[in-house]
Structure 1
């Protein structure tokens, strides 16, 4: 029987550019759980404890905020993104032709 390793995005999030592109792609999905999962992948890549410390959050609070279905406060998301070294950017939608 062939064994297939489970894909872990965190293994590929090894630069600021990769993290920013990954989070940007996740934001394109209308399901907020996709973005939370992407933030969780980045947190895993950076180390949950270190990211929680850098964001000024407790480790348990970080896990709770990134649970699928969670509705973290904007301030929590902002702290996490600041600790990750990324920002959100708004741009106009491109009209469909």
Structure 2
């Protein structure tokens, strides 16, 4: 499965990068490809390309604040969670996504 994610916490620093790391680790552990864009106090990093988005089976929006560029995901299947879910339960989240996609 191919996933893309946008991650942004309220302070734009700690939880953003921890959530990114946890999502990548959980997805790769289960054999999935994932690309993660962060939006924070230092701007956007790892910006998702149109190709990344087009090829994705699902978009994970792990955000605690309003993010920019969300129109890119209009016709995509999305799941919206807080960064704390990505940090604390990323493996369970990926399992849930697998179940949703297979249904």
Q: TM-score when scaled to structure 1?
A: 0.29
Query: Greater CA radius of gyration, 1 or 2?
Result: 1
Say which structure is richer in strand: 2
Higher helix share: 1
TM-score, length basis structure 2: 0.28
